[in-house]
Structures are given as structure tokens and as C-alpha cells.
Structure 1
Amino acid sequence: MYANDLTNRLIPSVLHSKLSPPALPSPPILCVQFLRIERKRKKRGRDWKRGRSMADLFAWLLFFFVLIALLVLVVYQLMCLADLEFDYINPYDSASRINRVILPEFITQGVLCVLYLLTGHWVMSLLNVPYLYYNVRLYTQRQHLVDVTEIFNMLNWEKKQRLFKLGYLIFLLFISLFWMIWSVLEEDEHSHS
């Protein structure tokens, strides 16, 4: 009974009150508010694009430095092989120096491929897959280390293998440089618009 009494009191007061539609703001105020909202949306969009392009730029810089590290490791291996070829160092020292940097090279290349995947650069990741596959295949077949007793017999093969890696890494470096410059120009374009 109490609930019916309460509804009988509330409903008539709501029904009998003079409800008028809410007053609309005058058109000039509405336009100014709309323009403010649009400016905020555009600014948010520009800030988002700017933040995205800045993140892209930092990602390309990171890729660039990782590729430089890979190039240094491969060039170091080539220098050790050249020193061995010209008899500046003995086979044991050459093999131990090369074997010391092979796993860091493989790990760095794997990290680079994962970084490409995490940042959404699918094409660059696909370009890294053959190199990664080759390194994984060498590692799983236990052919990644240089054998001290066979280093003179395999010297030409080892040099060719590392020269091919060097050429491939230089190719990837130029592509990364292109995209890094592209993202800088895109960032500059967004900052001026």
C-alpha cells in the first residue's frame, strides 16, 4: 500500500508539471562550440599522428643501430679470416675469436627480427626471415662454429658466407635508412601542417 501511495503522489506531479523542451543555444554559439570541438579533434589527431611518427622514427633509429652492430660483428669475422689468410694470426686464435662473436650475431639478428614484428614492420621482418632461417639451420645442425682443424680447408667458404651476410646486411641497412628518412620527412610534414 505504501508503494502505491508513493507512486500516486509522484506521478501526478510529474505529469502535471509543465515540461518544456530544453532550450537550444543560439546558432552562433553552437557554431563556435562546434569549431572548438573540431579544433580539439584535429589537434588530437595531429598529436596522435605525430606521436606515431615519432615512435616510428625511434624504431627506425633502433633498427639502424642494431643493423650497425650486426655489420660490425660480420666485418670483425671477415677481418679475422683475412688475418688468418695472410698468416698474421694462428688458426686457433682466429677460430676462437670468430666463435666468440657468432652467438651474439645470431641473437642480435633474432632480436632485430622480433623488433620488426613487434613494431608492425612486416615487410622488413619478412626480409629478415631468410637470414634468420639460415642462422637457425646452422645452429640446429651444429655447423655454426668454426673448426680449428678445418679452418684452412674451409677458408674460402667461410669468407664467401660472411661476404654474402655482409651484402645482405648492407641491403637491409639501406632499406632501413630509406624508411628512417621517410619517417623524418613525414614527421616534419605533420609538424608544419
Structure 2
Amino acid sequence: MSIDTSLFIFSLFDTSALLFLTVYIVITLSDLECDYLNAQQCCNKLNKWVIPEVISYGILVILLLFTNHWILFLLNAPMLAWISYKYFSIPKGNIGFYDATEVHNRGNLKQLMKFSMVRLVYHLIHFFIYLYCMIIALLTNG
């Protein structure tokens, strides 16, 4: 098995995990919106997944960079930069990316839902891109 095949298999699994995580975030935020969860429960559930998400993106982008897949690297780098920026620009005093005291202020919940939906579409598109790349890598090496 070549490096490209291994990379695309890993990318497919990584993107699948990120896709499921984003679906979980959308469901949890919609539960908060419908008052099935309170803000503290929702934010506690979601904040524990922020660091693994950033690490997952980081590993994928670094692997794409080191294996000279420039187009895929350039497609993934903006989302890593945006997620990292959002994580590292958390105001002092907030408990995390999702803060229970801020989630209902100034339409933050709608903004978080919109951002999550954008990430959902982004991961879905990338899932099929990596699936295609994996199939091509398997066919060219077989």
C-alpha cells in the first residue's frame, strides 16, 4: 500500500469522524434551541470536543502538506485557520468556545448553528473528495 493510499484512507476516516462530530454539535445546539438542554449542559458537552477537533484538523493538514498534496492542503488550511482563530480568540472569563453565559446573547446561538451547518457541508464535500482520491489511489497502485 502506498503512502497516498494510506493518507487518503486516514483522511477519509478523519473526515468521517469530523462529520459525525459536526452532526453531534448541530443536534446538541438544536436541543438547546428547543429547550431540551440548558445552556450549561450544552456547553459542557460541546467544549470537550473543541480540542480534539482542532488536533484532528491539524494532523490532516500537516499530513497533506508533507505529502505534497497542495490543492487539498489549500482546501483544508482555511478551515483549520478559522477553527484555530475562533479557539484562540476566546475572551477571558469564558469557560470555552461554547460559553453558557454568552450562548443566548446577541444571536450567538443562530451564529453557532450557521457555522456548524457550514462545517457540515464542508465535511460532506471533503468526505466525497477523499473517497474519490482513495479509490483513484487504490486503482493506480493495484
Question: In the alignment, does 2:121 pair up with 1:162?
Answer: no
Matched to 1:183, the amino acid is A
Aligned to 1:44: none
Shift of 1:109: 0.6
Matched to 1:173, the amino acid is F
Determine which of 125, 149, 163 is the counterpart of 2:101. Answer: 149
Listed as ranges, the matches of 1:19-168 within 5 Å are 54-142=2-90, 145-153=97-105, 154-168=108-122
Aligned to 2:131: 177
Shift of 1:93: 0.2
Residues 145-175 of structure 1, C-alpha deviation per residue, up to 9 Å, x if partnerless?
A: 1110121231111000111111111111111
Query: In 1, distance between residues paired with 2:112 and 2:3?
Result: 38
How big is the alpha-carbon RMSD for the aligned residues of Structure 1 and Structure 2?
Answer: 1.5
Listed as ranges, the matches of 1:2-21 within 5 Å are none
- Gapped runs of 5+ residues in structure 1? 1-50, 189-193
Query: In 2, distance between residues paired with 1:120 and 1:66?
Result: 18
TM-score scaled by structure 2? 0.88
Q: Which has the higher contact order (CA 8 A, sep 6+)?
A: 2
* Structure 1 runs, 4 residues or longer, greater than 4 Å off: none
How many corresponding residue pairs?
136
Query: In 2, distance between residues paired with 1:76 and 1:135?
Result: 17
Query: In 1, distance between residues paired with 2:98 and 2:59?
Result: 23
| Larger-Rg structure | 1
Shift of 1:187: 2.2
Matched to 1:76, the amino acid is Y
SS at match of 2:48: helix
Determine what percentage of the aligned residue pairs are the same residue.
Answer: 34
Aligned to 1:23: none
Question: In the alignment, does 2:140 pair up with 1:186?
Answer: yes
Matched to 1:59, the amino acid is L
